[in-house]
């Protein structure tokens, strides 16, 4: 095994220590793909993985609707409570922040490494979720935009 695999191995060890099965599985899959010589898959995973992951995540969130465990009436009731209204507003804001993060990652690939390190740290040691880079990059973009406003 060459040293190119070391970052993934370190992340794998951290994920195992942090008992994070999602990261362990993701890193193991990437290592297996790499060791099997299927590196031509990497561009497709990089280009489409986020959309596929978001689609699967959305399916998981919508499954109670599909199963009939949440009715239209219950959805409408969300507009009648303080926590429901706050959840709707925060959901919209976070969705927008994530979109800004996607644009930021495309425009500033140098920030990707730092976001990955931060996300892996959060996942492994704070038991966070690996969806952090998108939200984190959106927050970074917002902070940088604010800092730019103050520079002017």
Task: Give the tens place of pLDDT for each residue, 33-75.
Answer: 999 999 999 999 988 887 898 899 889 989 999 999 988 888 8
Average pLDDT score over the chain:
85
Query: What is the per-residue pLDDT across 139-148, written as a single tens digit (0 to 9) for each?
Result: 888 888 888 8
Residue 132 has pLDDT above 70, yes or no: no
Dist CA 125 CA 137 (whole Å): 20
For residues 87-113, average pLDDT = 84
Helices (H), 78-131: 82-107, 110-125
Dist CA 92 CA 88 (whole Å): 6
């Amino acid at each position: 095994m060459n040293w190119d695999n070391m970052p993934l191995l370190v992340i794998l060890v951290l994920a195992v220590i942090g008992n994070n099965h999602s990261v362990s599985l993701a890193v193991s899959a990437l290592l297996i793909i790499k060791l099997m010589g299927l590196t031509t898959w990497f561009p497709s995973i990089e280009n489409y993985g986020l959309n596929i992951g978001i689609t699967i995540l959305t399916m998981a969130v919508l499954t109670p609707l599909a199963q009939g465990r949440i009715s239209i009436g219950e959805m409408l009731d969300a507009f009648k409570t303080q926590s429901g209204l706050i959840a709707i507003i925060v959901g919209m804001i976070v969705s927008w922040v994530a979109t800004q993060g996607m644009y930021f990652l495309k425009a500033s690939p140098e920030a990707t490494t730092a976001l990955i390190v931060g996300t892996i740290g959060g996942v492994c040691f704070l038991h966070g979720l690996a969806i952090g880079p998108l939200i984190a990059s959106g927050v970074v973009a917002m902070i940088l935009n604010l800092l730019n406003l103050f520079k002017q």
